[in-house]
Amino acid sequence: MDGRRGDALSALVTPIVVIGAGIVGACGAAYLQRDGRDVLLLDHGEPGMGASFGNGGMLSASSIVPVAMPGTLGKVPRWLIDAEGPLAIRWSYLPRLVPWLARFAAASAPARVEAQARALRALLKDSLEHFAPLLRDAGAEALVRRQGMLYLYGSEAAWRGDLRAMDLRRRNGVVIEEIERRALGEREPDLGAAVTHARFIPDNGFTTNPLRLVQTLVRQIAARGGRVVQERVLGFETNDAQVTAVRTDRGRHPASAVVLAAGAWSRALAAQLGDPVPLDTERGYHVVVKDPEKTVRTPAIFVDGAFGITPMEDGLRLAGTVELGGLEAGANWARADAILNRGRRILPGLLERHDESRLSRWLGFRPSLPDSLPVIGTSSRYANAYYAFGHGHVGMCAAPLTGKLLSELIGGKSLSIDIGPFSPRRF
């Protein structure tokens, strides 16, 4: 048999190895399977227990505003002195963060912000449509709802302060409705006087249970014949041009191609594949209040506090804020409690009597590049190694199109959108 036919044959019987069973890896594996590929999904933990576990669940096609905007850096000192503010820094981590912060500052230049917002909009716009076939296959349609989303503000100044971001959204095709305070009260009777202004985005959706969404997709991948294996990936076996196998703590898995979708933990593996990307983490917290006395009917982002409020299957989830401190430092649960305190001011009567048995707290690791864009593309060194990580604040929403793009890229098809802005070589 000539070498080329031999390669083609082994590609048919050797699986594509997807590293990371979060929402991105799950959507990637699911789209690859729909394309007739054999997949092996590897995660050292239970599927869905990374960032995809505890997020706000918003499928927010309007979340196209990069974290680094003109003027963001000027607000940092004020944020840092506010114990309940949207940003905290672990000072011991600062020296390691400086190069990331320098790139973050550069990414806030107006022309770059415009380009980043355009790229994000293309990735997020049709999220619900790209989820639809995967949900149908898995019988999981009920886990995703198209119900719109509110932006809430605690003052006219905060509402005005968001005009620039809203203008960026509008110019990229996001439909935004201004809501009068009285009309807001009719829609959301539990909101207190601490909320003074609101906007509504009719086209956004959300999932009522991000973990169950990932688990359901992964179960469907297994039901279709994909292998799901709990092992930690350590590295790769390669020849000059290709990855031939994935090495784990338990052994090795021959691979016809690899997809790196290990979220915030992708940096070292990407470097092994030839791409030293400046991936770090924006840590975030959540609090879930079980059997909440007060709630929102529509998922909402409280802009002043940089957290979302989502009515979920297991309770009311308040999730968000940013803590820069790397992957190793332990949790600072005061950050989670700060979200809860602010949430209780927005929804007076929520957890009126403090009851620890109705509360759960979580720390999660957003995989974040300084320009708020993920890395989607092909390795610089190995033609059969692909990247799908770094989705920052929008991974739940961006995952299905990312998965579809992977299947198009690997199948040599034309791509649904331009992935140039997500190149691993842009840094």
Ligand X SMILES: Cc1cc2nc3c(=O)[nH]c(=O)nc-3n(C[C@H](O)[C@H](O)[C@H](O)COP(=O)(O)OP(=O)(O)OC[C@H]3O[C@@H](n4cnc5c(N)ncnc54)[C@H](O)[C@@H]3O)c2cc1C
* 394 interacts with ligand X by CB under 6 A: yes
Q: How far is the CB of 28 from ligand X (least distance, A)?
A: 9
Give residue 321's region: left, alpha or beta (phi > 0; psi -120 to 50): left
* 24 interacts with ligand X by CB under 6 A: yes
User: Rounded to an integer, what distance in angstroms lies between the CA atom of residue 30 and that of residue 179?
Assistant: 39
CB neighbour burial string for 101-118, b if at least 16 within 10 angstroms, e if fewer: bebbeebbeeeebebbbb
**Among positions 75, 232, 345, 361, the unique one binding ligand X when judged by CB under 6 A:** 232
**Among positions 86, 226, 343, 395, the unique one binding ligand X when judged by CB under 6 A:** 395
User: Rounded to an integer, what distance in angstroms lies between the CA atom of residue 74 and that of residue 125?
Assistant: 30
Q: How far is the CB of 336 from ligand X (least distance, A)?
A: 10
**Among positions 16, 300, 397, 417, the unique one binding ligand X when judged by CB under 6 A:** 397
User: Rounded to an integer, what distance in angstroms lies between the CA atom of residue 127 and that of residue 399?
Assistant: 8
CB neighbour burial string for 287-303, b if at least 16 within 10 angstroms, e if fewer: bbbeebebbbebbbbbb
Q: How far is the CB of 51 from ligand X (least distance, A)?
A: 4
| Complex with ligand X: residue 256 or 321, whichever CB lies closer | 321
User: Are 230 and 335 within 8 A, CB to CB?
Assistant: no
Please choose, out of 182-190, 219-227, 394-402, 419-427, the segment that lies near ligand X by the rule CB under 6 A.
Answer: 394-402
**Among positions 66, 308, 315, 424, the unique one binding ligand X when judged by CB under 6 A:** 308
Q: How far is the CB of 218 from ligand X (least distance, A)?
A: 10
**Among positions 66, 85, 315, 367, the unique one binding ligand X when judged by CB under 6 A:** 367
Please choose, out of 89-97, 219-227, 323-331, 387-395, the segment that lies near ligand X by the rule CB under 6 A.
Answer: 387-395
CB neighbour burial string for 341-353, b if at least 16 within 10 angstroms, e if fewer: ebbbbbbeebbee
User: Are 109 and 70 within 8 A, CB to CB?
Assistant: yes
Please choose, out of 102-110, 259-267, 290-298, 324-332, the segment that lies near ligand X by the rule CB under 6 A.
Answer: 259-267
Three-state DSSP at 250 gives coil
Instruction: Give the largest Cα separation in the chain, rounded.
Output: 76
**Among positions 305, 320, 403, 421, the unique one binding ligand X when judged by CB under 6 A:** 320
- What are the C-alpha distances in Å from 48 to residues 248, 262, 315? 19, 11, 19
Binding mask 34-73 for ligand X (x = CB under 6 A): --------xxxx---xxxx--xxxx-x-------------
| Complex with ligand X: residue 56 or 377, whichever CB lies closer | 56
Q: How far is the CB of 213 from ligand X (least distance, A)?
A: 10
Q: How far is the CB of 193 from ligand X (least distance, A)?
A: 26
Q: How far is the CB of 184 from ligand X (least distance, A)?
A: 21
Q: What is the DSSP string of 170-195?
A: HHTT---EEE-HHHHHHH-TT--TT-
In the chain, the amino acid numbered 380 is S
Tell me how many residues contact ligand X (CB under 6 A).
44
**Among positions 20, 148, 315, 400, the unique one binding ligand X when judged by CB under 6 A:** 20
User: Rounded to an integer, what distance in angstroms lies between the CA atom of residue 40 and that of residue 245?
Assistant: 12
User: Are 240 and 29 within 8 A, CB to CB?
Assistant: no
* 317 interacts with ligand X by CB under 6 A: no
User: Are 69 and 108 within 8 A, CB to CB?
Assistant: yes
| Complex with ligand X: residue 86 or 292, whichever CB lies closer | 86
* 319 interacts with ligand X by CB under 6 A: yes
| Complex with ligand X: residue 185 or 278, whichever CB lies closer | 278
Q: How far is the CB of 55 from ligand X (least distance, A)?
A: 3
Residues lying near ligand X in the complex (CB under 6 A): 19-25, 42-45, 49-52, 55-58, 60, 232-233, 261-265, 284-286, 308, 319-320, 364, 366-367, 389, 391-397
